[in-house]
Structure 1
Amino acid sequence: MVGNSFDQLVIALDAPHVSTDVIERLIFILAQKTNESLLSFINQSYQSVLFLERCMWKFLSEEKQHQWLKNSSVVKLFYSITSLNKTLIFNLDSIDTDSKAELLFPASNDQTDSIFKQINDTTNDNDTFVAIAALWFDNLAYFIVENPFFNALSTAKHLSRYIVHNYITSEQYQVYLDQLSQPNLLKSIFTTKMLFHIRTCSFYVYSCVGLGADAFPYTATELIRLIGPKYQQIVHIHCKNVALWSKELLSCMTHLICFMSGILWWDATIGGQANAIFSTEQIVCDHVEDLVRIVDHEPLQKLLKSDRSNDETSLIDGIIDTLMAIVKAQNVNWYFRANTHIQNTLLALAEVSPFDQICLCVYGILGKALTEEQMKGLKVCNTISGFFFNMLEQAWNHPSKQYKRIPVDHLLDGFLNLCKHDFIQQRTADMNKIGLLTDITNEYPIAYETVWALSFNYQIQQQLRQNTPFIDKLKRLSNQTTDEQIRKAVDGILWNLQIHQQSHPSTDISSQNTFDIMISYSHKDTSLCKQIYDELTRRNYRVWIDFDQMHGNVMDAMAQAIDRSRTIIICMSEEYRKSNFCRAEAHYAFQQQRHIVPVLLQKHYKPDGWLLFLIGQLLYVNFTKYEFDQAIEILMKELKDAKCVQVAVVPNCSISSGGSASLRVLSTEPAAPQNILEWTSVYVHNWLIDHKLMQMSRLLVDHDGRSLLYFNRYIKNGATKQTLKSLQEECVRQIGESLSLLELARLQSLIDREKQFARLPKSAKHN
């Protein structure tokens, strides 16, 4: 007689003949467990639960036990344990992941091989055995997605290799893809075997794709060639009728999209994979539109959870991951900028999604794709920084270094795109969060890149200078680290803080300059820059470019190159604008009053943010508008034109002040006119800086003397409360800063002093 305790019932499972009564009593016990009681149950009966899990793997793997599946009670027990395991994965955070892995994974590879053999041998396309085995492999995939470092287990790797070799690359998989490529799908195509191939196998490989070539017998490019074209066709056909998707089609679409997103992020690199699947710009844009159409289906959004435990959340998460891969690897950010529907759809998703990973990725996409002005125009622009730092602070203080399973390094990577925007830098300064990031550098070197990006902000520079231990650490790393990426970021921070900068010559250009031209560019634009370099050297120009001449401290090497060059060609592109090094290089070139010749290298790109502010009204050579030979001739004319107006821009205080640089424009204008009405916008800009009104110089860009007087009259004659509120909103919108009342008061005082020389027209006095 078997007792009623769980421990006794589990032991009875290993008997040669197990009664249905034992199985039913086990099912009853498991059914009584809630999420709360399950935790104490597993902790108290861990060894018995482990024994139960091993018994179920044994049932699945031993062919002679296959007959038990004819017993409906056994089938119910399998489903009960499947449900328990999913709860274990997503809800029982108090149980350590090693214990979870021990409970979930089979005891040996022989067991999984036996299960696969039975799947391969069955001639029944709707075999219950296949359905149950699929659920068990699904749970392994769920666990690995939530805990990626377990994909390195030998069992996990073995499963990956087997599934890719025997299912993903099989002819049968292609047959199932062909079936899904039809516009009108019959329910009968969704057999158990078909779902095992398309859902389970795709899902499992996606969970392990981070291992790259270490886990698979095929490269990412080979898998894309096998699956990519049919994948795009399937998405394109079915994105138009999401409302009609069956549960089975939803599952197939979910795991195909996740599978392809995983391949795009293969081994943490995305360039080659993205180029393999998206051969033309039009194909990329069409696919983006298809994916956004799926995201825009509101009933899907309403079913989102705070984790990936259902297909709806996994689907949206996979789509957003794919869009992030596209904006990182493809030159189509212009499409996101021009398409307000995409922007609004992504923002609406971020507002309703309870899954923070999706929100983080959406903000990362927008931060990378949109211009500074577009980002400042988003209604969430004032809350993005708070959203990020709330997650980061909780993750940093948690023993697992995660926030809701989002690791610290993922959070930092997501914020890196955002922090290139000056208004985000200012928000970070206002929240005084730079100290959190400097602490994180102790364990996560990626944070140095983030601190470097933020250190272009004047207030953050001041906050960093007060952090003596961090400055001392930077100095040590600059001299001792062998990691080139860390050293470059460290030297960049020190450069922005004007620490350890070598003494450089004055802005006067001497006859001893070694180079006629320096080319300042992003390494992602190397190909075209190399062509420009070759053409310039062919015409006997002495050209400095860093692919063959930069060594040691790259910041000092950059400064020396600029000091020794008469003209600086700035090669403008999105990557240039987003590069910390390029920003420092461009600022220094303007500071040293070198002759600047901007050239545009990227189709659809328009300079924005700090780059737009620096080049001002300078004309640029457009290499995207003309053929290379024609563009080169235009460039040669610019270089040879001795009469061209040279406008240099000099940062008035350090690299920047506030949200963006305060720059004094050096021009060939005549002496300052006494009458304020005759002041040009350039003179007003310099006048504001000379009087240390840095914020006003950024806020009142392009204001001439007449505009200044109108501005002053509006402040004095308007309703004070409403006027200040409007100015505050405009200041935040334009430059991402709170209005300085001290600067405003000083500005009014200075204008009143200058007004004695001005006489506004009568019509103006009555406005």
Structure 2
Amino acid sequence: MGSGVSKSQQTRPVIGYSEDGNTSDAQVPYYTKREEYNSTGATATSKLNENGPTLSAVVMSAKNMAALKKKEKEEARENILLEHPELADAMDSVREYLQEISNKRDDDVTRKNMNYNTRQTLDQIYSLYFDCEEQEHKRILGDQLSQYNAGQICTDYLKVLSEDGINTPTKGYDADCLYTVRSVCWNYSDASLEFAAELGRTGSFSIFIADIVSFKSQLDDDFIRRTIIEPSIAILHNCAKAPGSKKYFTIANALDAIIPYTNVTYQELKMVAMMTLSYIIEEKDNDKISADGSMIEFILMYLKESINGIDHKYEGFSAHEIVSGIMHLASNDDNKLKIVKQGVLPLLVELLQDGNDAEKKICAKTVWVLSFKDENKPLIQEQENMMELLKELAGKSGKAKDAAAGALWVLANVERLEKKRSKNENEEENKALESKSSENAEVENNQQQPANDKTRGHVMISYQWGCQKLMLRVKDRLTKMNYRVWIDVESMGGSTLQAMAEAVENSAAVLICMSPKYKDSPNCRTEGEYAYKLGKPLIPIRIEAGYDPDGWLGALQGAKFWVDFSNLVAFEVMFSRLIKELGDKGKGDAQDLQLSPSQASRVIAKVPPRLLERRKPVNNWTKEDVLNWATKNQIQSRKVKSLNGESIVFLSSIKLSAPEFFYKYASEKLGITELPDLISLCRGLERLEL
């Protein structure tokens, strides 16, 4: 939720501490994502040339590109810090504060309370948020908190002080400490997606959800609502926007806890609950929130009011974040037509025409998502000024260019699809006739001609960027076995949709890397559905453990069995299965290292020799290899150094799939209790070439 108050209105709440650690004058600070409450208690408002050069000559290394983007991000941050030394000072303070808290946390957890100094230190971290005038500065500070495991620290204290959500205090010192922790979580989860994501990984959701369930009956108690319920739901809303967070909401059974708040009389709280659900609802549960359309109607009312409001805001919600929620709600196909029929299109047109760059981008992306519903296409095409605005945005540089081009592709590419379908059918018929004729033809001099079918086409990897490292590993293994591989290593945008289409059209098989992020990505859906409609052989690849695709992605999978790459320990077994599924599709002869310019514009099938440095697989590491790796990454734990390669791979796997267990295991079994040691271990695992 964006802040609804202007800078001139903001006043930072000040906590007065008495000697016993309680707030003086029974003054309870209302820490909020909105940054404060007013006096009434209400919130203040790359291409191949014509000669077909070898692939290794035109490859862009994904690793080099990732390193370049990381370097650019770091340089941008350094420039900000140079221009704003006060921000650099704040970051130094954050490091010191978190180290102080970490040194005392174990004792606090043992005693099941928060010491007075820690409470003051957390309040200082909270206060630093208000010292940042620019939103980007707040994001940098929030990212810094995440880097030093502040999310884990907050979660630990939430659990200790509330007895794991079973007995949350409403009065006294422990209750005041919880206000402080919630305040840090609320503000920084709004500023930083990295911090929001860490709150999910560390298990905090169960506490916030327990609180909104336990205190629902006390909703009309102004104190309870403002200090416990509203912060808890708002934090959940902020975290719902973080990539990869949906699974943690599922684990915490968040849906049934939040849905009752969509019917409360407190309008703003009702809106926060609805927007949170828009990010976390699964296809199978969609009927729980959209049966009568009232939720969509309420959200569209907020959007209309925000468009008419100052700075495109209404009761603290910006038009941008409302449209973003609508887009995520539309990810479920059952909602697409309802959203259009209830009048979203004129509102999107208004923002496409008069909004800022960010608003235009999210609106164009929302139109793209809505366009996947066939019944919506004529309604969108007939909406006054819609197509003209999309064409205008797609034709000029800007944030909305790629999204507008994507929407136009889905809306206006029927003719291309039909031509390609017809061409494919004719090719199949001709191939069948040629095969029949060749059965009766003599082979001159008993010499067989090279089989063109074997080298025709390539294996296309369709994936969402979150699994790029894994897919590049798959790509490398395939190319070593002479498969021709097409994989996008840049951000595939509207300007390269032509390249995507050609890659699909010229593919012999398409690997569909299934995950929640893939399902929610309009880019990925455009690729996947185009391949499906062209009748290309699809091989489902499971990326996330336990993920069972539904909706359009489930339909794409059909009755096919996936190749499960969600467990790195089983990589070799699964890769063998992938090869069995592929057969000769996309496989070329050893000397076949070229593709025609019509086949792709972003191809990685061979990597320059300097990038193909042979490394021993981590799974095969000896204890000596592990020791060298631990030393290089400054990992001090003797128990880590005694592990073998297979254990290291498994440790890396559970860090992603079961973070709570990972951190608990690291502390209790590996003896890693200090923050610097935990940081070294995590960074070492992230640098592994698995």
Sort the TM-score into its range (normalised by shorter chain): 0.5 to 0.7
Q: Which residue is equivalent to 1:476?
A: 392
Confirm whether residue 269 of structure 1 aligns to residue 186 of structure 2. no
Distance in 2 of aligned mates of 1:612 and 1:99: 51
Question: How has the CA–CA distance of structure 1 residues 369 and 98 changed in structure 2, closer, same or farther, with 3 Å as cutoff?
Answer: closer
Distance in 2 of aligned mates of 1:143 and 1:202: 19
Distance in 2 of aligned mates of 1:525 and 1:127: 47
Question: How has the CA–CA distance of structure 1 residues 410 and 161 changed in structure 2, closer, same or farther, with 3 Å as cutoff?
Answer: farther
Q: Tell me the CA shift for residue 459 of structure 1.
A: 2.9
Q: Contact 2:278/2:328 (CA < 8 Å) preserved in 1?
A: yes
Q: Which residue is equivalent to 1:45?
A: none
Counting only pairs closer than 5 Å after superposition, residues 328-347 of structure 1 correspond to structure 2 as 328-329=241-242, 331=244, 333-334=246-247, 336-337=249-250, 341-347=253-259
Q: Tell me the CA shift for residue 386 of structure 1.
A: 1.2
Q: Deviations over 1:373-426 (max 9, x none)?
A: 212244766322112111111221234522222221221222222111111112
- With normalisation by structure 2, the TM-score equals 0.62
Q: Tell me the CA shift for residue 202 of structure 1.
A: 5.1
Amino acid at match of 1:494: L
Q: Which residue is equivalent to 2:487?
A: 545
Distance in 1 of aligned mates of 2:499 and 2:34: 51
Amino acid at match of 2:571: F
Distance in 1 of aligned mates of 2:248 and 2:99: 37
Match for 2:157 among 228, 234, 248? Answer: 234
Q: Tell me the CA shift for residue 609 of structure 1.
A: 0.6
Question: How has the CA–CA distance of structure 1 residues 184 and 546 changed in structure 2, closer, same or farther, with 3 Å as cutoff?
Answer: closer
| Number of aligned residue pairs | 507
Confirm whether residue 319 of structure 1 aligns to residue 232 of structure 2. yes
Q: Which residue is equivalent to 1:735?
A: none
Match for 1:605 among 547, 561, 568? Answer: 547
Match for 1:257 among 182, 185, 190? Answer: 182
Structure 1 SS opposite 2:204: helix
Q: Tell me the CA shift for residue 359 of structure 1.
A: 3.5
Q: Contact 1:274/1:330 (CA < 8 Å) preserved in 2?
A: no
Q: Deviations over 1:161-183 (max 9, x none)?
A: 67994998288877997886566
Q: Tell me the CA shift for residue 580 of structure 1.
A: 0.7
Amino acid at match of 1:459: E
Q: Which residue is equivalent to 2:260?
A: 348
Match for 1:401 among 307, 312, 327? Answer: 312
Q: Deviations over 1:519-559 (max 9, x none)?
A: 11111221211111111111111111111696872222211
Q: Contact 2:33/2:187 (CA < 8 Å) preserved in 1?
A: no
Counting only pairs closer than 5 Å after superposition, residues 158-307 of structure 1 correspond to structure 2 as 165=93, 169=97, 181=109, 198=122, 201=124, 203-207=126-130, 211=134, 214=137, 220-222=143-145, 225=148, 227-240=150-163, 241-242=166-167, 244-266=169-191, 268-270=192-194, 273=195, 284=202, 286-298=203-215, 301-303=218-220
Counting only pairs closer than 5 Å after superposition, residues 485-634 of structure 1 correspond to structure 2 as 485-498=399-412, 505=420, 506-508=423-425, 515-547=457-489, 553-624=495-566, 627-634=570-577
Q: Which residue is equivalent to 1:370?
A: 281
Does 419-428 or 625-634 show the bigger shift?
625-634
Distance in 1 of aligned mates of 2:23 and 2:155: 32
Counting only pairs closer than 5 Å after superposition, residues 36-75 of structure 1 correspond to structure 2 as none
Q: Contact 1:392/1:411 (CA < 8 Å) preserved in 2?
A: yes
Q: Which is bigger in relative contact order (C-alpha 8 A, separation at least 6)?
A: 2
Does 503-512 or 250-259 show the bigger shift?
503-512
Question: How has the CA–CA distance of structure 1 residues 299 and 456 changed in structure 2, closer, same or farther, with 3 Å as cutoff?
Answer: closer
Q: Which residue is equivalent to 2:77?
A: none
Counting only pairs closer than 5 Å after superposition, residues 436-475 of structure 1 correspond to structure 2 as 436-442=347-353, 443=355, 444-445=359-360, 446-475=362-391
Q: Tell me the CA shift for residue 304 of structure 1.
A: 6.3
Q: Deviations over 1:588-646 (max 9, x none)?
A: 1122111111111111110101111222222222223671111111111111178xxxx
Distance in 1 of aligned mates of 2:297 and 2:348: 14
Match for 1:635 among 570, 578, 600? Answer: 578
Higher-Rg member (1/2): 1
Q: Tell me the CA shift for residue 439 of structure 1.
A: 1.4
Distance in 2 of aligned mates of 1:136 and 1:624: 43
Distance in 2 of aligned mates of 1:532 and 1:97: 50
Q: Which residue is equivalent to 1:125?
A: 19
Does 360-369 or 210-219 show the bigger shift?
210-219
Q: Tell me the CA shift for residue 447 of structure 1.
A: 1.3
Amino acid at match of 1:342: A
Identity %: 18
Amino acid at match of 1:252: C
Structural RMSD (CA): 4.6
Q: Deviations over 1:191-215 (max 9, x none)?
A: xx9876655x455345567846736
Distance in 2 of aligned mates of 1:569 and 1:157: 48
Question: How has the CA–CA distance of structure 1 residues 559 and 175 changed in structure 2, closer, same or farther, with 3 Å as cutoff?
Answer: closer
Q: Deviations over 1:109-168 (max 9, x none)?
A: xxx9xx99xx9xx9x7379998799979999941799679xxx9xxx9979967994998
Question: How has the CA–CA distance of structure 1 residues 207 and 374 changed in structure 2, closer, same or farther, with 3 Å as cutoff?
Answer: farther
Q: Tell me the CA shift for residue 219 of structure 1.
A: 6.5
Confirm whether residue 432 of structure 1 aligns to residue 374 of structure 2. no
Question: How has the CA–CA distance of structure 1 residues 534 and 139 changed in structure 2, closer, same or farther, with 3 Å as cutoff?
Answer: closer
Distance in 2 of aligned mates of 1:471 and 1:333: 33
Structure 2 SS opposite 1:560: helix
Amino acid at match of 2:405: D
Q: Deviations over 1:681-738 (max 9, x none)?
A: xxxxxxxxxxxxxxxxxxxxxxxxxxxxxxxxxxxxxxxxxxxxxxxxxxxxxxxxxx
Distance in 2 of aligned mates of 1:318 and 1:527: 36
Note the residue ranges of structure 2 that are not aligned, 5 or more in a row.
Answer: 46-79, 429-451, 586-690
Question: How has the CA–CA distance of structure 1 residues 363 and 465 changed in structure 2, closer, same or farther, with 3 Å as cutoff?
Answer: same
Match for 2:324 among 405, 408, 413? Answer: 413
Distance in 2 of aligned mates of 1:327 and 1:136: 23
Amino acid at match of 2:336: Q
Match for 2:297 among 386, 395, 399? Answer: 386
Question: How has the CA–CA distance of structure 1 residues 239 and 195 changed in structure 2, closer, same or farther, with 3 Å as cutoff?
Answer: closer
Q: Deviations over 1:485-526 (max 9, x none)?
A: 512211111112116976864224586986321111111221
Amino acid at match of 1:634: R
Q: Contact 1:181/1:230 (CA < 8 Å) preserved in 2?
A: no
- With normalisation by structure 1, the TM-score equals 0.57
Distance in 1 of aligned mates of 2:318 and 2:226: 19
Question: How has the CA–CA distance of structure 1 residues 393 and 196 changed in structure 2, closer, same or farther, with 3 Å as cutoff?
Answer: same
Q: Contact 1:336/1:342 (CA < 8 Å) preserved in 2?
A: yes
Distance in 2 of aligned mates of 1:632 and 1:207: 51
Q: Which residue is equivalent to 2:448?
A: none
Distance in 1 of aligned mates of 2:92 and 2:24: 18
Q: Deviations over 1:1-51 (max 9, x none)?
A: xxxxxxxxxxxxxxxxxxxxxxxxxxxxxxxxxxxxxxxxxxxxxxxxxxx
Structure 1 SS opposite 2:372: coil
Question: How has the CA–CA distance of structure 1 residues 138 and 160 changed in structure 2, closer, same or farther, with 3 Å as cutoff?
Answer: farther
Distance in 1 of aligned mates of 2:26 and 2:95: 18
Q: Tell me the CA shift for residue 367 of structure 1.
A: 3.4
Q: Contact 2:540/2:561 (CA < 8 Å) preserved in 1?
A: yes
Does 462-471 or 330-339 show the bigger shift?
330-339
Q: Tell me the CA shift for residue 579 of structure 1.
A: 0.8
Distance in 1 of aligned mates of 2:230 and 2:96: 22
